[in-house]
Amino acid sequence: MTTLDTNAHSMNTHEHAQVSSQSVLNAAQFVQAVPGALRKLDPRALWQTPVMLVVEIGAVATTVMSILDASVMGWLVTFWLWLTVLFGTLAESVAEGRGKAQAASLRALQEETTARRRASDGTVEVVSSAALRAGDVVLVTAGERIPGDGDVIEGVASVDESAVTGESAPVIRESGGDRSAVTGGTTVLSDEIAVRITSEPGHSFVDRMIALVEGSERQKTPNEIALNVLLASLTAIFLVVCGTLYYQADYSHAHQSWIVLTALMVCLIPTTIGALLSAIGIAGMDRLVRRNVLAMSGRAVEAAGDVDVLLLDKTGTITYGNRRATEVVPVPGVTQSDVETYAKLSSLADETPEGRSIVELISADVAAPAGTVLVEFSAMTRMSGLDAPGLQVRKGAGSAVTAWVAENGGTVPDATDDIVLGISSAGGTPLVVAVQEAGSAARVLGVIHLKDVVKEGIRERFDELRAMGIRTVMITGDNAVTAKAIAAEAGVDDFLAEATPEDKLALIREQQRGGRMVAMCGDGTNDAPALAQADVGVAMNTGTTAAKEAGNMVDLDSDPTKLIDIVEIGKQLLITRGALTTFSIANDIAKYFAILPAMFVASFPQLKVLNIMHLATPQSAIVSAVVFNALIIVALIPLALKGVRYRPSSADALLKRNLLIYGVGGLIAPFLGIKLLDLGIHLIPGL
Ligand SMILES: Nc1ncnc2c1ncn2[C@@H]1O[C@H](COP(=O)(O)OP(=O)(O)OP(=O)(O)O)[C@@H](O)[C@H]1O
Ligand SMILES: [K+]
Ligand SMILES: [Mg+2]
């Protein structure tokens, strides 16, 4: 067998380089986004954004009015209202465009290849990869491309997944354990594996990635929907206000044209946030993708911004997950060769990496007796072994095997506990080996030492999480002593040992009942229920298909500390949305005071005191406000896409700071902007 390369799982930093090169927004991106923006002007697409739909209807109305009754002012307002809608769709289109290049390179992975499909009778036929269905078994040898998503059911191989993950170091994929999932389009570098296909055509992992980076599957989150309803209500109110203003103005002999009132209405409704809302959401998902995290829903990204507790599986998440047998220790009275024989016997059927490592460690030839029934490992029993006529062998977690020995009339010698304790306190996983032969009570033979290594640099990252106010809890099926040793080494706040899949699920529910937002990182099939229940379920890409399907995010780098980035991006998304909503509404209030006095000052000279801006003429005031209202959308697109900067600090301090910058800033900006625009605009002939 090949030597397993643990470096392949070491934390990598390549994605950070990627981020900085891609986050620069350039003019070309805007230009490329124009066709998409024009398509989005279709009212059937625009109704998703009620505020912008109202602007579009307003633009249609002023177009008609200007045709019927041409005036410079009418055409200027019309032109800028159309630009306002276009800038809104442009924001979304630019946000989407950033995933398009990535989607194109992913599509290259979907090229049809040939596959060697193995029928149930063992015959192998060559078929097209497009003909593969879930359940098919294919053979893939060094140098070949894996034709579809699946689980390795035989063998172990090193695989180049760089096309999907961007990480050039090969990874190990093997049957039985928590590193069995392979992705279609990746390449086998050494050895041969048999893969059971798990996805139907069109529903592969890469298909999902493409849909995700293109934003085509994006659905509004409940928060976005709530905000949209609020914006639509504000819009409705201003529609009524401006509509009735026409008659009130007439009644007071201060007639205002419908063009002026439409312009006023557009200035007052929350167009800025209405235009940028969807771009902010898309940008959040995009930022995650560039960190090599695939979020299956926007809701998960938002939830990440509010996480209080992070639960992590131990093996494969906190440790490299390359748990291997290093020694077998006999209890007093048992020979080394005896304990080794039974340890190997108990592992003949054990297809987990742990089981195979035991078979490899022990050189003695051992064969299963005739009539053997193999007992596979399960996370529930935490044991594996075999049953033969007159012979039962088990190995597994200390508590599980102790219970089994007692059930079968035996007692466990004190020395066992000492050996188990010794291995556990060093952070190793002890597997107790026991046997029951016909006519005698079960007895313990010795203990297998499984070694695993804590991932490098994980401690510092957990410290960071603590600084962000997030509690880390390790949950493991392993015994309490091992758990404690690894917990101390990794620096988690707390741990839960001897946890079954149900225990993991129960712990999450309990935390959620306490009002906490729970994130969970895991890789195993036994983590799947917990990953599904967690508010943010991050599956390691190295993990099983079940885990990857249960979670709402997949980390392509299989780095649990990535949660720090995920939380930051989630917080940044929430803060950006909050900041731009504040700015937008403050802006609209300011515009009200900027325009209204100018509109009515001719009829009501008393308004002069309010007319602090001294805009040149009422017409120029209206046009300047409309132009400002449109330009502010374009001006804020980069901020919406990049996100407001997030620094770890208390929620209170953040709120105060943002209210000050975006609230007060939003109030002042229109006065300055409109005044400046008015200086030029009032010179336009005919206005
Ligand atoms: N192949 C095996 N045969 C027998 N017992 C095993 C085997 N593999 C693991 N065990 C025992 O079962 C326990 C639970 O293993 P499992 O892989 O389900 O852990 P887990 O819940 O995923 O937690 P973690 O991944 O954090 O260790 C292990 O701690 C070990 O004591
Ligand atoms: K507005
Ligand atoms: Mg596990």
Q: pLDDT tens digit string along 8-61? A: 333 333 333 333 334 457 788 889 999 999 999 999 989 989 999 999 999 999
Q: Whose CA is nearest to atom 12 of ligand 1?
A: 382
CA of 547 to the centre of ligand 1 (A): 16
Residues 268 and 358 in one domain: no
Residues 334 and 444 in one domain: yes
Residues 519 and 436 in one domain: no
- Domain assignment of residue 486, yes or no: yes
CA of 170 to the centre of ligand 3 (A): 21
- Residue at a domain's end among 556, 581, 613: 556
Which of 174, 311, 312, 315 to probe ligand 1 with, by most ligand atoms within 8 A of CB? 315
Residues composing the chain:
687
Helix-then-strand count for the chain, H and E: 24, 22
Is residue 313 part of the annotated active site? The answer reads yes
Residues 612 and 676 in one domain: yes
Q: Whose CA is nearest to atom 26 of ligand 1?
A: 314
Nearest ligand 1 atom to alpha carbon 319: 26
Q: With H, G, I as helix, E, B as strand and everything else as coil, classify residue 554.
A: strand
Q: With H, G, I as helix, E, B as strand and everything else as coil, classify residue 386.
A: strand
Q: Per-residue pLDDT averaged across 448-453, rounded?
A: 92
Given 313, 452, 535, 678, the catalytic residue = 313
Which of 476, 482, 505, 527 to probe ligand 1 with, by most ligand atoms within 8 A of CB? 476
For residue 176, the number of C-alpha atoms closer than 13 Å in the C-beta half-sphere is 21
CB 162 within 8 A of CB 168: yes
CA of 133 to the centre of ligand 3 (A): 28
Residues 435 and 512 in one domain: no
Measure the CA–CA gap between 209 and 641, rounded to whole angstroms. Answer: 20
Q: Is 383 in the pocket of ligand 1 (CB under 6 A)?
A: yes
CA of 663 to the centre of ligand 2 (A): 15
* pLDDT given at position 211: 81
Which of 376, 431, 540 to probe ligand 1 with, by most ligand atoms within 8 A of CB? 431
Residues 469 and 611 in one domain: no
* pLDDT given at position 7: 37
Q: Is 482 in the pocket of ligand 1 (CB under 6 A)?
A: no
Question: Cβ neighbours of residue 225 under 8 Å, at least 6 residues apart?
Answer: none
Q: Whose CA is nearest to atom 8 of ligand 1?
A: 354
Residues 446 and 338 in one domain: yes
Residues 229 and 297 in one domain: no
Residues 602 and 490 in one domain: no
Strand-pair partners of 158: 172
- Domain assignment of residue 528, yes or no: yes
> Which CATH number covers residue 482?
3.40.50.1000
Asked which of 143-147, 395-399, 601-605, 658-662 is least confident by mean pLDDT, the reply is 601-605
Q: Is 431 in the pocket of ligand 1 (CB under 6 A)?
A: yes
- Domain assignment of residue 393, yes or no: yes
Q: Which one of the ligands is nearest to 402 CA?
A: 1
Cα–Cα distance list, 406 to 208, 399, 444 (Å)? 50, 11, 11
Measure the CA–CA gap between 314 and 494, rounded to whole angstroms. Answer: 12
Could you tell me which of 468, 504, 481, 269 has the C-alpha nearest to residue 380? 504
* pLDDT given at position 12: 38
CB 254 within 8 A of CB 612: no
Q: Is 476 in the pocket of ligand 1 (CB under 6 A)?
A: yes
- Domain assignment of residue 151, yes or no: no
Q: Is 382 in the pocket of ligand 1 (CB under 6 A)?
A: yes
* Residue 419 lies in domain: 324-451
Tokens in use for 405? 């020995």
Q: Whose CA is nearest to atom 20 of ligand 1?
A: 477
- Residue at a domain's end among 451, 475, 499: 451
Q: Per-residue pLDDT averaged across 320-343, rounded?
A: 92
* pLDDT given at position 216: 64
pLDDT of 610 > 80? The answer is no
Q: Is 352 in the pocket of ligand 1 (CB under 6 A)?
A: yes
What average pLDDT does the chain have?
88
CA of 185 to the centre of ligand 2 (A): 48
Tokens in use for 428? 């190793």
* pLDDT given at position 307: 92
Q: Which one of the ligands is nearest to 276 CA?
A: 2
CA of 324 to the centre of ligand 1 (A): 12
Which of 179, 356, 382, 544 to probe ligand 1 with, by most ligand atoms within 8 A of CB? 382
| Tally of structural domains, the chain | 3
| Annotated binding-site members | 350, 354, 377-384, 395, 523, 527
Q: pLDDT tens digit string along 558-598? A: 888 888 889 999 999 999 999 999 999 999 988 887 788 87
Share of the chain above pLDDT 70, in %: 95
Strand-pair partners of 494: 473
DSSP designation for 578: H
- Residue at a domain's end among 521, 556, 591: 556
Q: pLDDT band at residue 286, thresholds of 50, 70 and 90?
A: confident
Measure the CA–CA gap between 136 and 125, rounded to whole angstroms. Answer: 12
| Annotated binding-site members for ATP | 350, 354, 377-384, 395
Q: pLDDT band at residue 88, thresholds of 50, 70 and 90?
A: very high
Residues 79 and 226 in one domain: yes
Q: Whose CA is nearest to atom 22 of ligand 1?
A: 477
- Domain assignment of residue 462, yes or no: yes
Backbone phi and psi for residue 201, each to the nearest 5 degrees, phi listed first: -55, 140
Q: pLDDT band at residue 650, thresholds of 50, 70 and 90?
A: low
In which element (H, E) is residue 687 found?
none
Q: pLDDT band at residue 2, thresholds of 50, 70 and 90?
A: very low
Q: Is 186 in the pocket of ligand 1 (CB under 6 A)?
A: no
CB 50 within 8 A of CB 85: no
CA of 71 to the centre of ligand 2 (A): 23
Q: Which one of the ligands is nearest to 490 CA?
A: 1
Measure the CA–CA gap between 372 and 575, rounded to whole angstroms. Answer: 62
* pLDDT given at position 14: 37
Could you tell me which of 167, 47, 43, 22 has the C-alpha nearest to residue 97? 22
- pLDDT higher at 166 or 55: 55
Measure the CA–CA gap between 33 and 87, rounded to whole angstroms. Answer: 11
3-state DSSP of 206-245? HHHHHHHHHCCCCCCCHHHHHHHHHHHHHHHHHHHHHHHH
Could you tell me which of 596, 601, 611, 594 has the C-alpha nearest to residue 672? 594
CA of 525 to the centre of ligand 3 (A): 8
CB 168 within 8 A of CB 223: no
- Domain assignment of residue 645, yes or no: yes
Q: pLDDT tens digit string along 387-407? A: 999 999 999 999 999 999 999
pLDDT of 642 > 60? The answer is yes
Q: Is 313 in the pocket of ligand 1 (CB under 6 A)?
A: yes
Q: pLDDT band at residue 298, thresholds of 50, 70 and 90?
A: confident
* pLDDT given at position 5: 37
3-state DSSP of 71-89? CHHHHHHHHHHHHHHHHHH
Measure the CA–CA gap between 469 and 564, rounded to whole angstroms. Answer: 11
In which element (H, E) is residue 274 found?
helix 271-290
CA of 354 to the centre of ligand 1 (A): 9
Which of 312, 383, 474, 478 to probe ligand 1 with, by most ligand atoms within 8 A of CB? 478
CB 157 within 8 A of CB 190: yes
pLDDT of 203 > 90? The answer is no
Q: Whose CA is nearest to atom 31 of ligand 1?
A: 397
* pLDDT given at position 24: 55
| Cβ atoms within 10 Å of 589's Cβ, excluding its own | 14
Q: Is 449 in the pocket of ligand 1 (CB under 6 A)?
A: no
Cα–Cα distance list, 69 to 14, 180, 211, 633, 634 (Å)? 61, 72, 47, 29, 30
Q: Is 198 in the pocket of ligand 1 (CB under 6 A)?
A: no
Residues 468 and 517 in one domain: yes
Share of the chain above pLDDT 90, in %: 56
pLDDT of 105 > 80? The answer is no
Kindly provide the ipTM of the predicted complex, given to two decimals.
Answer: 0.92
CA of 271 to the centre of ligand 2 (A): 4
Question: Cβ neighbours of residue 366 under 8 Å, at least 6 residues apart?
Answer: 341, 344, 345, 348
What's the one-letter identity of residue 351? Answer: E
Nearest ligand 1 atom to alpha carbon 396: 5
Q: Is 355 in the pocket of ligand 1 (CB under 6 A)?
A: yes
> Which CATH number covers residue 379?
3.40.1110.10
Tokens in use for 669? 């900006």
Q: With H, G, I as helix, E, B as strand and everything else as coil, classify residue 127.
A: strand
Provide the angle, in degrees to the nearest 10, between the axes of the packed helices 336-347 and 353-361: 140
- Domain assignment of residue 11, yes or no: no
Q: Which residues have beta carbons under 5 A from ligand 3 (an ion)?
A: 313, 315, 524
Tokens in use for 189? 């570098």
Residues 638 and 616 in one domain: yes
Q: Is 347 in the pocket of ligand 1 (CB under 6 A)?
A: no
Measure the CA–CA gap between 87 and 80, rounded to whole angstroms. Answer: 10
- Domain assignment of residue 538, yes or no: yes
Strand-pair partners of 154: 194
Measure the CA–CA gap between 399 and 165, rounded to whole angstroms. Answer: 40
